[in-house]
């Protein structure tokens, strides 16, 4: 079945440092979504990327979708303590299963103030 892998599993940074998490799928994806889950909270949608090579920015967050549509990355510039949480990527199934999102294990980001 489809597999979505994320690295690193954990990342600890000093406030102000940059952070990047990487997501790789075993299959070509029609789109990829990113979610953020704060400690003790629930996953909250951040963004969806659809086009090959797409780059989208949300303030200090930059999301990329690979040319082959099998990988993606999330980069945070100048981290803040409010960025703490687990970042998940998720890809839909293929064909008639595109409603079914497969989530990666996530990258837990902690920020030292």
Partner 1 sequence: GAGVSQSPRYKVTKRGQDVALRCDPISGHVSLYWYRQALGQGPEFLTYFNYEAQQDKSGLPNDRFSAERPEGSISTLTIQRTEQRDSAMYRCASSPRNRANTGELFFGEGSRLTVL
* Residues of this chain that bind partner 1 (CB under 8 A): 4, 30-31, 33, 41-45, 48, 88, 90, 92, 96-106, 108
CB 16, min distance to partner 1, A? 27
Nearer to partner 1, 26 or 98 (CB): 98
Look up residue 51 and give its DSSP letter: S
Rounded Cα distance between 83 and 87, Å, is: 10
CB 43, min distance to partner 1, A? 5
Nearer to partner 1, 39 or 113 (CB): 39
Nearer to partner 1, 45 or 78 (CB): 45
Q: How far is CA 2 from CA 11, 41, 45, 49, in A?
A: 25, 26, 21, 18
Q: How far is CA 81 from CA 4, 12, 15, in A?
A: 27, 11, 7
CB 111, min distance to partner 1, A? 19
SS3 at position 82: helix
């Amino acid at each position: 079945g489809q597999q979505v892998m994320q690295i690193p599993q954990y990342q600890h940074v000093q406030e102000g440092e940059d952070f990047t998490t990487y997501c790789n799928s075993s299959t070509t994806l029609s789109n990829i979504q990113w979610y953020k889950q704060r400690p003790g909270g629930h996953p909250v949608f951040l963004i969806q990327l659809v086009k090959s090579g797409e780059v989208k920015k949300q303030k200090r967050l930059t999301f990329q979708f690979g040319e082959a549509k099998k990988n993606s990355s999330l980069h945070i510039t100048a981290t803040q303590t409010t960025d703490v949480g687990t970042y998940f990527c998720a890809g839909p199934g293929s064909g008639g299963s595109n409603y079914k999102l497969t989530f990666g294990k996530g990258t837990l980001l902690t920020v030292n103030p």
